Amino acid sequence: MSGSSTDVAYLTRALKMPRARQVAESLAETARSQGWDYTEFLAKVLSEEVASRETHGGENRVKAARFPQTKTLDDFDFSHQRSVSRPQISHLHQLDFLREAHNVIFLGPPGTGKTHCETESAGSTRTRTKVGAGDDT
């Protein structure tokens, strides 16, 4: 491994950019062969890192939350818990509260489905890109 490759490996590790570390060498070869300038090369490396984070970021956040298991809206027994309406939970699944910067609090005694609804909401964020990204509001 050359000195600059070692530097790139160290720096991407320090910056917590694993995907950039994986693709830097192959993109450098492509950049040399296709005559990319430095900015274009850097943009390609950073695009790879961003794409990787968008793909895996939600999974990592759910894992870090240490939810007991992944739940879905289809698994929820609305007949058992009559105080929760399907339309209300479906509306939460749309994640409008995130765009509007509102909090959602699930209150109730044990066994009423609070954790189920929370993990379902967290799971739905994992399947989407950043909510509100690019919004100027």
Number of domains in the chain: 2
8 and 47 share one domain: yes
Rg (CA), the chain: 21
pLDDT value at residue 125: 53
Q: What is the pLDDT of residues 9-38, one digit of tens each?
A: 999 999 999 999 999 999 999 999 999 999
Q: How far is CA 7 from the centre of its chain?
A: 28
pTM: 0.50
Same domain, 36 and 88: no
Q: Return all residues near 41 (Cβ < 8 A) that are at least 6 apart.
A: 27, 28, 31
**Structural domain for 40, as ranges:** 3-65
Residues 22 and 48 in one domain: yes
d(CA 99, CA 117): 19
Q: Which is more confident, 3 or 70?
A: 3
Same structural domain, 80 and 48: no
Q: What are the pLDDT digits (tens) for 62-78?
A: 777 776 666 676 777 77
Say whether pLDDT at 130 is over 70. Answer: no
Tokens for 111, please give them.
Answer: 């066994």
pLDDT for res 59: 72
Confirm whether 136 is domain-assigned.
no
Asked if the structure places residue 20 within a domain, the reply is: yes
